[in-house]
Amino acid sequence: MSDSTPVLEIRGLHKSYGDLEVLKGVDVSAHRGDVVSLIGSSGSGKSTLLRCCNLLEDSQQGEILFKGEPITWRGSGVNRVPKDAKQVTRIRTNLSMVFQQFNLWSHMTILENVMEAPVTVLGRDQQEVEDKARQYLEKVGIGDKCDFYPAQLSGGQQQRAAIARALCMEPEALLFDEPTSALDPELEQEVIKVIKDLAAEGRTMMIVTHDMKLAADVSNHIIFLHKGLIEEEGSPDAVIGNTVSPRLQQFLSSTRQ
């Protein structure tokens, strides 16, 4: 992959649920080291776009490319599904997703949660993965919680464990779906600090967020989605500081109240 090839590229993506068209032809790209934030009102298509990127949702039209490699499909329209299951697994493991609700296994310790996918999905050596998992848990500030279960941790600690789990896959990019929206403001700051640290390291990330300060602080590109289309996009200074679209002005005004 050359430096000019995006890690993740979306071209003309369409996604519907029955008669409801959620994405109406969206183009997005993230090069190595980019932090792309997706903002917009509830129902604008942000989370759906992220889930389509990671192939958790099947789109009906458009291209998804990982490091220049297009996803192969069979069928068309509502019958379109990925053609190659091995390709889906390989790409999904390189686009680790952090969900709003943590999605940790309640019957496993935090260390076991972080180790599970690299060992069972990628077939990596257990001791090697354990060493990495402990390093990543230290990195997100909960190295002392390895032997705890999710229910014994605060929401912020659980979300940091989920980030460590995503990092342990050693992915090409991280996808965050509203990573702080389920947290109290105090706990939210713990997670924001970790995301800022990852951005400072040059990690490639795509973030769906309601937090405009987070988007402004960590992103080099912000996309405002409205009714399934990109209404405005650009640098944080352009999108948040020099807004052009009246709809985006209205949205930003509502988030400041």
- pLDDT, position 254: 87
CATH of domain 8-256: 3.40.50.300
Q: Domain segments of the chain: what residues? A: 8-256
For residue 1, the model assigns a pLDDT of 54
CB-based contact 172:7 (threshold 8 Å): yes
Token digits of residue 158: 């659980």
Confidence of residue 182 (pLDDT cuts 50, 70, 90): confident
Residue 82 structure tokens: 């990925």
Total-model pTM: 0.94
Q: What angle do CA 23, 243, 236 make, to 5 degrees?
A: 80
Strand-pairing partners, residue 96, are: 174
| Two tokens, residue 4 | 């000019």
Q: Give the tens place of pLDDT for each residue, 85-142.
A: 999 999 999 999 999 888 999 999 999 999 999 999 999 999 999 999 999 999 999 9
pLDDT of residue 2: 55
What pLDDT digit, counting tens, does each position of 243-254 carry?
999 999 999 998
Residue 193: partners with Cβ closer than 8 Å, 6 or more residues away: none
| CA angle (20 as vertex; 97, 9 as ends), nearest 5 | 40
Query: What DSSP designation does 151 have?
Result: G
Strand partners, 81: 74
Q: Note the residue count of the chain.
A: 257
What pLDDT is stored for residue 256 in this prediction?
A: 72
Q: Please report the pLDDT score of residue 257 as a whole number.
A: 55
Strands 35-39 and 73-74: unpaired
Quote the pLDDT of residue 136: 97
The pLDDT assigned to 160 comes to 96
- Between CA 223 and CA 221 the distance in angstroms is 7
- The predicted-structure confidence for 17-46, as pLDDT tens digits, reads as follows 999 999 999 999 999 999 999 999 998 999
- Written as six digits, the tokens of 149 are 């279960």
Both tokens of 44, joined, read 């604008």
> What would the mean pLDDT of 152-177 be, rounded to a whole number?
96
Question: Residue 205 pLDDT more than 70?
Answer: yes
Do residues 179 and 192 touch, judged by C-beta distance below 8 A? no
pLDDT of residue 168: 97
φ, ψ for residue 72, nearest 5 deg: -95, 140
Bridge partners of 65, per DSSP, are 9, 70
Q: What tokens does 253 get? A: 């005004």
Dihedral sign computed on CA atoms, order 212, 213, 214, 220: positive
Quick one: which of 193, 184, 187, 237 has its CA closest to 214? Answer: 193
- Give all strands (DSSP E) within the chain, no chain letters: 8-17, 20-30, 35-39, 61-66, 69-70, 73-74, 81-82, 95-98, 173-177, 205-208, 221-226, 229-234
CA distance 206 to 203: 10
Residues 183-193, mean pLDDT to the nearest whole number: 90
